[in-house]
Amino acid sequence: MGAKIIRINMTTLTSVMEAVPKEWLGLGGRGLTSTIVAREVPPACEPLGKYNKIVFAPGLLTGTAAANSGRLSAGFKSPLTGGIKESNAGGTAGLNLERLGIKAVIIEGLPEEDKWYGIHIDKHGAAIREDAGYLGKGNYELFTSIGERMGKKIGVLAVGPVGEYKMAAANISVKDPDGNIRSLGRGGGGAVMGSKKIKYITIDDAGGTGPVIADPEKFKQQARIFAKAILDHPVSGQGLPAYGTNVLINILNEAGGLPTKNFRTGRVDHPEKICGESMHDLIKERGGVISHGCHAGCLIKCSQIYVDPQGEYVTSGFEYETIWGLGCACNINDLDDIAVIDRIMDDIGIDSIEGAVLMSVAMEAGILPWGDGKGVYRLFDEEVRQGTPLGRTLGNGAGSVGRTYGLTRIPVVKNQAIPAYDPRAVKGIGITYATSPMGADHTSGYAITTNILKVGGYLDPLKKEGQVELSRNLQIATAVIDSTGLCLFVAFPNMDIPECFTAMVEMINARHGLNMTAEDVGALGRNILKTEHAFNLEAGFTSKDDRLPEFFEEAIPPHNAVWDVTGPEIDSFWNF
Amino acid sequence: MGAKIIRINMTTLTSVMEAVPKEWLGLGGRGLTSTIVAREVPPACEPLGKYNKIVFAPGLLTGTAAANSGRLSAGFKSPLTGGIKESNAGGTAGLNLERLGIKAVIIEGLPEEDKWYGIHIDKHGAAIREDAGYLGKGNYELFTSIGERMGKKIGVLAVGPVGEYKMAAANISVKDPDGNIRSLGRGGGGAVMGSKKIKYITIDDAGGTGPVIADPEKFKQQARIFAKAILDHPVSGQGLPAYGTNVLINILNEAGGLPTKNFRTGRVDHPEKICGESMHDLIKERGGVISHGCHAGCLIKCSQIYVDPQGEYVTSGFEYETIWGLGCACNINDLDDIAVIDRIMDDIGIDSIEGAVLMSVAMEAGILPWGDGKGVYRLFDEEVRQGTPLGRTLGNGAGSVGRTYGLTRIPVVKNQAIPAYDPRAVKGIGITYATSPMGADHTSGYAITTNILKVGGYLDPLKKEGQVELSRNLQIATAVIDSTGLCLFVAFPNMDIPECFTAMVEMINARHGLNMTAEDVGALGRNILKTEHAFNLEAGFTSKDDRLPEFFEEAIPPHNAVWDVTGPEIDSFWNF
């Protein structure tokens, strides 16, 4: 039996299995979610209204023996940005869907009654059950409870209270192999799921036989080359496994591109208190886990299990961008404070980048003093989790906080919070923030590679020359990687080791019986980006939405760099 | 000495007098404010940032002996809509500026220090004084205090606490001849004034000699014709003087176009408790004032002084749209409750249309029960006035409340609240809401005239045919009237009595020594609208912003009318 699509209608509370249309067969992950959203969702519709849909899709290589191939994409019209959105994460849900031969789950409509639902997917299809039992519960309690009821292997997608409230910064949480939390983080997918009154989706892969590999021998051979390249590259083979993504604190601080106190300076005065190296030593000393994978088959294992002084689990998937947001944008100088905030953000189900940056805007507004980690925890626990008036403003993101308090220093593009790299000091990432159809999103065209890490060559981060081309090439390549189900970090070896990229393409060919060339792969990436951009234009975006906030005209120390890329220069991004 | 412009820079805390550029000589009111804003304000700038400006300009006939010629316009980039904005009001400020020969006041820049200022304008120019003495005070206390200090004739423009907080629904209050309150209501001008840390502007006309009439004899003759037409027309001569604008409750209820409970039905079940006829009898019985002008020289006197059962002043300028918003959208069935809410909205300085509609959205969100007048008062007094977290969300308008609470039933266009006429049951006004560069604004093209009141002919309100042309003609004509300093209600006789329109044009000619034809007047109106539209396009608006909210696809009783005007039909509005 071939791959199939499950279509769930929350108005009629029914589901059907559909054959995969021929033109979608060569698509997966972001390529598939963006194609379906662009085809089926009216671009100008209300993101929380009846015409929006959520699409979940494993990638083209998800669930295969390819290293780092465990990711699942979610696509929808974003209540945060008003544009098209794709988020992807590890965890077990994508692998389980792939094993069941499910190429996509499309959820549409809104329930007519004020009732909440859980969806269960297994080899027979999808069942929608009324279930208000977990309402108001955090993700940790929900994941533990479902794990106890349905077994550790169950895949789970869920929303926390933030998603129930339909707050625009709500994420969709994904159970990882240990029962902990990964996130389909950005853009408010949790609010869309909340609007459809779906508290959770469970995926039982029992009896699943996928994925079927068209050419197993070739696949095996290419997978070996691919795995070796990941292990050979210094970033994916050494830096990330040892220190996690938080290795970047010292690197960006050194580069003067670490935005501190709501983007006022490019350096923090307490890097040693929050950096990856210190975190590594602390976890080791306390008996936590330094290197840990977010899904089966991960070779990089950039995650870790952060424990408290008593050695008790606090959080995992403790990423640089979150630590930056709390440690630098909010100026909190205590890693334990930051870790418990990371945990509560996962628990209530809020994107941890948006969550951290919105707190720096709350500090800008005078709601909290700079550096008040305990205060940030309290706001998440007592305001956002409870859905108080202040909690609602916070839970709707950095733009919401800034507008509500009459600020002009609001670090957002397309209303999504700007993450951990200053666009004035690292101009390539500024182009990505400005132009990405996703809103400010470092992952969509991670120019830090070539601007800072010297992966894929080097381009002076302080000069604007060449940055549009760099960002464009990265965004096209990223659209492809986000379609494979591979972790984005395979981009590091992909950029420096030619046989790594070839192996990725050949694994796709071997998996699906295709004959894609490198050229075809580039065309796929360009097509995805253009599809997303066209959706946004139909939703009412213009080139004015491809701009950084006004305050980036201020010089940022230590380089006194300003954002000097002109409108027409930015707009040339779309000339392809 | 000729007319002049006062330019006030809040960064340098200095002001200069400038000659009026030749191309601005034939402009006034909205025509002048929109021209200056379009010329001097970067369309994509932060509305609360340093590049925005506020421009105050009396109209071409303000301060003359023409009946109903007392209005002042304010122009700025709106923090509510993100587009260009003009609001106008009666009161004494416009007359005083005109007497001083001041064609426009342009205020630019932001103070560098966290200090508040008052500005005093007199025959010597403008003086900027640090003054934190009125901070946090309501407009009634401020107007009384300034009146006592500076005399009853002083012109005052001020912001209440809502403007101090830079909330996007903040208005600019204008002292009327009795020391009571008129409002430059819509679009958040008070927030722009608050961002510039200006609590108030006083205008002393002592020694002023303007306006100078180029042809006094002709002016006098035409002014007589004009005045007679106003008095002869049934709407401006009879309906409005007797019952005020609130005469419309029964008319719109009868037409099924009175949006009730956040636009769920087109009729209210308690019209007799809130309608103009009942209000007239109540005011008469209690010894209030039935008919009262908002500025010297008004013949229509649609205002009134509403008093409580003890005969004590409660509010004035108590308009249909406010009474509708509270009485129908919020379903409050007690006119005394509505009156004290109107008063507090004036006092804290919030646009009373946005203020009423945002409360209906708060009811939609479950913050208050439908019809809870005491609750609405409490939210304005204890939340908005105090700047609490909930107060901030409310004070930023109906869109803010709806987005913060994850709603989709949010009656706004360009983020401005839709006023008192249902666009499904009165399609001409729907075209105005959709297309006006001001956002949803009934005054910008008041199709109620021809759809309901049968002024200027009749066009079936339930049919879409001809409505685009009707709205376009009205919007062009309104842009002209808003430029004259005349009250918009002169449009009623203008539409039905040909010599009224001619007299208006000839008064402008006589005042300024011009030779404008009816054709020139039309060209002026078209040019203003196009200038405003072009500004909005440069600010990032598209045709997608010229759309009503999705929920208007629902049928509204009693006619079960839906919004059936297509996108291309709406967009044909701009074909002129």
User: Which are the contacts of A181, defined by CB distance < 8 A and separation ≥ 6?
Assistant: A139, A140, A143, A173, A174, A175, A316, A317, A346, A347
Strands A303-307 and A172-175: unpaired
CA distance A50 to chain B (A): 9
Backbone torsions φ then ψ of A194, nearest 5 degrees: -65, -35
pLDDT of residue B370: 98
CA distance B51 to chain A (A): 10
First-to-final CA distance of chain B:
39
CA B220 to chain centre: 29
B225 inside 8 A of chain A by CB:
no
Size of interface A-B (CB pairs under 8 A): 80
CA A486 to chain centre: 13
Contact between A191 and B406 using a beta-carbon 8 Å cutoff: yes
pLDDT of residue B295: 86
What is the rounded distance in angstroms from the CA atom of residue A162 to the CA atom of residue A401? 15
Mean pLDDT of B553-558: 97
Ranges of beta strands (E only) in A123-229 are 125-130, 155-158, 172-175, 181-184, 198-203
A309 inside 8 A of chain B by CB:
no
Q: What is the pTM of this model?
A: 0.97
Mean pLDDT of A48-58: 98
Residues of B in contact with A195 (CB under 8 A): 406
CA distance B444 to chain A (A): 23
Backbone conformation region of residue B350, classed left if phi is above 0, alpha if psi is from -120 to 50, else beta: beta
pLDDT of residue B188: 98
pLDDT in tens, A522-569: 999 999 999 999 999 999 999 999 999 999 999 999 999 999 999 999
For residue A143, pLDDT over 70 is answered with: yes
**DSSP, res A453:** I
> Mean pLDDT, chain A, as a whole number?
97
Among the partner-chain residues A389, A408, A542, the one whose CB lies closest to the CB of B48 is: A408
User: Which are the contacts of B86, defined by CB distance < 8 A and separation ≥ 6?
Assistant: B29, B30, B33, B34, B73, B74, B75, B438, B482, B532
CA dihedral B68, B72, B77, B80 (to 10 degrees): -60
**ipTM surpassing 0.90, yes or no?**
yes
Share of chain A above pLDDT 90, in %: 98
Coil, strand or helix: which one is B155?
strand
Backbone torsions φ then ψ of B313, nearest 5 degrees: -50, 130
pLDDT of residue A220: 97
A370 inside 8 A of chain B by CB:
no
For residue B1, pLDDT over 60 is answered with: no
**DSSP, res B212:** P
Mean pLDDT of A1-24: 94
For residue B153, pLDDT over 80 is answered with: yes
Among the partner-chain residues B393, B396, B408, the one whose CB lies closest to the CB of A389 is: B393
For tokens 């580069």, name the residue.
A255
What is the rounded distance in angstroms from the CA atom of residue A539 to the CA atom of residue B107? 35
Mean pLDDT of B294-316: 94
Contact between A44 and B542 using a beta-carbon 8 Å cutoff: no
pLDDT category, B296, cuts 50, 70, 90? Answer: confident
Contact between A404 and B403 using a beta-carbon 8 Å cutoff: no
First-to-final CA distance of chain A:
39
Q: Which residues pair with A184 in a beta bridge?
A: A172
Q: Please, are residues B72 and B97 in contact by the beta-carbon 8 Å criterion?
A: yes
Contact between B408 and A165 using a beta-carbon 8 Å cutoff: no
Contact between B406 and A544 using a beta-carbon 8 Å cutoff: no
pLDDT category, A210, cuts 50, 70, 90? Answer: confident
Mean pLDDT of A159-182: 96
> Mean pLDDT, chain B, as a whole number?
97
pLDDT in tens, A462-494: 999 999 999 999 999 999 999 999 999 999 999
What is the rounded distance in angstroms from the CA atom of residue A493 to the CA atom of residue A230? 6
pLDDT category, A2, cuts 50, 70, 90? Answer: confident
CA dihedral A529, A47, A36, A517 (to 10 degrees): 20
pLDDT in tens, A248-305: 999 999 999 999 999 999 999 999 999 999 999 999 999 999 998 888 889 999 999 9
Nearest one of A490, A373, A415 to A67, comparing CA atoms: A490
By C-alpha distance, the chain B residue nearest A163 is B406
Coil, strand or helix: which one is A243?
helix
Mean pLDDT of B31-38: 98
What is the rounded distance in angstroms from the CA atom of residue B68 to the CA atom of residue B88? 13
Contact between B392 and A393 using a beta-carbon 8 Å cutoff: yes
What is the rounded distance in angstroms from the CA atom of residue B246 to the CA atom of residue B323? 7
Contact between A48 and B539 using a beta-carbon 8 Å cutoff: no
Q: For chain B, how many residues are written?
A: 576
pLDDT in tens, A67-82: 999 999 999 999 999 9
pLDDT of residue B186: 97
User: Which are the contacts of B122, defined by CB distance < 8 A and separation ≥ 6?
Assistant: B100, B203, B204, B205, B206, B207
Backbone conformation region of residue A410, classed left if phi is above 0, alpha if psi is from -120 to 50, else beta: beta
By C-alpha distance, the chain A residue nearest B395 is A404
For tokens 């506020």, name the residue.
B54
Mean pLDDT of A125-139: 98
Considering only residues B2 and A309, tell me which one the structure prediction assigns the higher pLDDT: A309
Mean pLDDT of A204-214: 94
B78 inside 8 A of chain A by CB:
no
